[in-house]
Chains A and B, each alone.
Chain A
């Protein structure tokens, strides 16, 4: 029997913070399954302390978003599968989430999945007066309801191809 070399206990808990972040960043949003929580801007930070404890900070899209419980469970599951079991998940409200936090690649993924990405709420890009149909590209569209299949989506219809489509509504 070989005795463990000195220092093993300490090195065993030394974890690669970037690798841990990659694990968490790959967790998929349960209601917008083409996006990761990183694409969506729901993931704020991942910290690993000297003892190997992982602290994940997330922010809700809408205050009543029922996906948050699933996201928390999925983060724990992904970290556990990667060998990290000492995990704390913190929910942080401020600053409030905005659709402006959705990454460029996230916007592209939404459009490819037939969901119109939101117009910019702030910043240099002016708010679009119409929403481009994610199916045929027409700008001749109309909003049917500000409320859609999930808290973060509005329901639109394209007058060009006649198809209804979801939009992640600007917030």
Chain B
């Protein structure tokens, strides 16, 4: 069965917005190896986004390519989950988001790799192997900060608490993936001596184009060059 355009946009926009947020850390990380790591993860996410958006454009059949979809849609047309657009006001917030989204992407891509849409399965079989490295990286930092000093523990816990409510939206279309996701995440949190937040408030709307204002600022920065110079090439 062929995936829907909206479904591909959701997957592609999750990856694209994640890439853009991670790219903002370049030159601002606590150590040079981390600059390199986050830029590499951003590059993987961007690669996934390009494949997914190209497929979405082809399936839509309206002549939109990856650039048209990335640079010429407005915030209301983006289908990413709210989690990935949240601002990284602390390093620990970024790590919490990466932990949650990469654990989700790994499970989702694993499922899609065995799914009935052949082109999407090919993309997912490729990206799932990269997700495993992203998850490993986020988990290592969660352990290091959670089971570190009093300050790092407090800030890692604050990061986890801040973004936890936004993880519910990831499982709206695949509620059955949440069990495996919880096992992965709870194991990391326990080893990091961090508390798993209680479920409660569950903000949503990203898949329907209702976003936080943070996405508008992110898109303004990401799209400004293309909008100022339409069709410009290197």
- Partner-B contacts on A (CB < 8 A): 60, 62-66, 93-98, 144-149, 151, 155, 169, 171
Contacts and interface: CB of A to CB of B under 8 A. Distances in A.
Interface residues of B, number: 27
B44 A151 contact: yes
Given A62-B44, A62-B47, A155-B33, A147 B137 contact: yes
A158 B150 CA distance: 32
Given A144-B33, A155-B33, A64 B43 contact: yes
Which of B40, B43, B45, B46 has most chain A Cβ within 10 Å?
B40
Main secondary structure of the interface of A (DSSP, over half): loop
Contacts of B36: 145, 147-149, 155
B217 interface: no
B136 A146 contact: yes
Given A93-B122, A96-B122, 7 more contacts: A62-B47, A64-B48, A145-B37, A147-B37, A151-B40, A155-B33, A171-B130
Given A62-B130, A146-B136, A93 B125 contact: yes
Nearest to A69: B234
A120 to B, nearest CB: 15
A142 B122 CA distance: 33
A166 B133 CA distance: 16
Contacts of B45: 64
A95 to B, nearest CB: 7
B157 to A, nearest CB: 25
B130 A146 contact: no
B122 A64 contact: no
Lowest 9 A-B CB distances belong to which pairs? A64-B47, A63-B47, A94-B122, A147-B37, A147-B40, A93-B122, A64-B43, A96-B126, A145-B33
A64 B129 CA distance: 13
B127 interface: yes
B91 to A, nearest CB: 16
B43 A66 contact: yes
Nearest to B19: A64
B125 A63 contact: no
B44 A146 contact: no
A64 B44 CA distance: 5
